[in-house]
Amino acid sequence: MILLLQDSPPKSKRDIFLWERIHIRKATAALALERKFFYEALTMKA
């Protein structure tokens, strides 16, 4: 899917909507991973 590869916002309304959803999902996944590693690091030190 082309939308996953491009990092510049598309022109049409429908594509912009999909693009935003994909990027929000990427951002939340990255945050969840960071949080998981952070907690694992904390529990290792304890």
Instruction: Report the pLDDT value the prediction gives residue 15, as an integer from 0 to 100.
Output: 87
Taking only the tens of pLDDT, the chain with its 46 residues reads 454 555 566 778 888 888 889 989 999 999 999 999 999 988 887 5
- CA–CA dist 8, 6 (Å, integer): 6
Among candidates 2, 37, 31, which has minimal Cα distance to 18?
2
Query: Contact, 19 vs 10, CB < 8 A?
Result: yes
Instruction: Report the pLDDT value the prediction gives residue 34, as an integer from 0 to 100.
Output: 92
Instruction: Report the pLDDT value the prediction gives residue 37, as an integer from 0 to 100.
Output: 92
